[in-house]
Structure 1
Amino acid sequence: MLIYHRITSIEDRYFKKLHELLRTIFPSEEVLEYELWREPLEDPSIHVYAALHGEDVVGSTEYRYYPKLRVAMTDFTIIGRPSMGIGRFLYRKREADLQRLAEQSGTTSIGMFAEVYDPYRAGAHEFGGISPMNPIVRREVLSHIGYKRMNFPYVHPSWDHEGKAVSELDLCFLPQDESLDAIDAALVVQFLEGYYAALPNKPQEWLDMMAKLREADKVELLPL
């Protein structure tokens, strides 16, 4: 039996296991240092949940909802073991919680952002050797859910605070209206400015990308 457990402090007895799982699966530039998690976990708008199987952390997801923008963001979803239904468990629990958050804020979500690796550019990443985390598998799962790829070259600042530009990813969007083939560029700009506000060192590549987005009217949504 899996338990959906929210972590709100680095003092939580399951956080160390969660952080170890993150470092096992993701490249180092994608994982915030242990102590630097203290403030984000205490932020009530950031939701970090672990999938517990007994005393083991076998998966996790982090997400947030922005009432003013009426959008959500899935920061990450990790599956630590195959053949346990962890992905579906996390998806359903997150979906229900995001619906609750939207209702509490008196808004209706228009969709959810997510970053996903391009398997042809990120082929060198082993992702901890865990098959469900393979870039090809993850990309296909998001495609099945309904995510669409934004049609612009995407980079983001590294989470190790060194200010490096991390590429090999696409910024994607899951629209509530499946027929949607574009979203306002201003929405993307507002989201990215807020989401990466916590990282003071922005690479020039990111600044250039944002400047181009500010000049655009719409961002096209393509099949993932």
Structure 2
Amino acid sequence: MDFVRITSIEDPNFLLMHELMKKVFPPEEVLEYSLWREPLEDPGIRVFVAVHKGAVVGATEYRYYDDLQVAMTDFTIIGQAGLGIGRFMAAKRMADLQQQAALSGRSMLGMFAEIYDPYRIDGHEFGGIKPMDPYVRREVLSHLGYQRLELDYVHPSWENNGEAVEVLDLCFMPIDDSCTEVSASLIVQFLTRYYSVLPDKPLQWQQMIEGLKQRDTVALFPL
């Protein structure tokens, strides 16, 4: 299996990845095809696919903010069971992120991720791919070290229609296992930058950000 970076929408693997995304994720979580051009050309956004026997069987997008010392896992797709795709991509991603952190001269504090709450999305099949089942994914991410931030989380829809998406938890995987909380100002800085590409923010998101600005820290809890 190969871990192949995609940097252009003209890459044949990108079409296969986008089709996989549409199969697995709901529409509000998938950026329209043509709008991927600039993100893929951004050196700070890292999009990789797992290629097995010429087929795209998995994909992951992530980024590293060296000034904040944190990473964000945008998505991880496991397109087929029984190939060890999840472990393969997680290990490759972490090695790459550690290298990015080393280049910045400062160690990584941890990684954010938005994780579906299966108790609020009953009936969503995620393309019928069992490894993508939200219960399975949540437990796997817990095993990797992700924890839930004490926050009523919403995010702007990637359809950029001003709607709020409310079926995910914002989570954080600290590199230091003894970490029990995250700076609220760090979360504000991260979310503000991460969603700067979406100009139409829902009121609920703005209220969440203003609430975070009134806090010092946000506790971490098990998934």
| CA distance, structure 2, for counterparts of residue 118 and residue 15 of structure 1 | 28
**Aligned residue identity for 2:213:** R
| CA distance, structure 1, for counterparts of residue 144 and residue 51 of structure 2 | 24
Kindly indicate whether residue 26 of structure 2 is the aligned counterpart of residue 27 of structure 1: yes
- In structure 1, the partner of 2:12 is 13
After superposition, give the CA deviation of every residue in 1:28-75 in whole Å (9 maximum; x if it has no partner).
000000000000000000000000012211000000000100000000
| CA distance, structure 1, for counterparts of residue 110 and residue 30 of structure 2 | 25
Aligned length: 223
- In structure 1, the partner of 2:118 is 119
**Aligned residue identity for 1:179:** S
Kindly indicate whether residue 205 of structure 2 is the aligned counterpart of residue 199 of structure 1: no
CA contact (8 A) 1:65 1:98 kept: yes
| CA distance, structure 2, for counterparts of residue 100 and residue 180 of structure 1 | 22
| CA distance, structure 2, for counterparts of residue 157 and residue 124 of structure 1 | 22
**Aligned residue identity for 1:78:** I
Identity %: 60
| CA distance, structure 2, for counterparts of residue 105 and residue 60 of structure 1 | 25
| CA distance, structure 2, for counterparts of residue 17 and residue 152 of structure 1 | 35
Q: Which runs of 5+ in 1 are unaligned?
A: none
**Aligned residue identity for 1:34:** Y
| CA distance, structure 2, for counterparts of residue 96 and residue 205 of structure 1 | 36
**Aligned residue identity for 2:145:** G
- In structure 1, the partner of 2:64 is 65
**Aligned residue identity for 1:33:** E
Q: In the TM superposition, what are the counterparts of 1:153-192 in structure 2 within 5 Å?
A: 153-192=152-191
| CA distance, structure 1, for counterparts of residue 10 and residue 161 of structure 2 | 26
CA contact (8 A) 1:123 1:135 kept: no
How far is the alpha carbon of 1:107 from its aligned partner?
1.2
- In structure 2, the partner of 1:84 is 83
How far is the alpha carbon of 1:183 from its aligned partner?
1.1
| CA distance, structure 1, for counterparts of residue 156 and residue 54 of structure 2 | 34
| CA distance, structure 1, for counterparts of residue 197 and residue 60 of structure 2 | 19
Q: Which runs of 5+ in 2 are unaligned?
A: none
| CA distance, structure 2, for counterparts of residue 132 and residue 166 of structure 1 | 23
Please give the root-mean-square deviation of Cα atoms over the aligned residues, in Å.
0.6
CA contact (8 A) 1:70 1:110 kept: yes
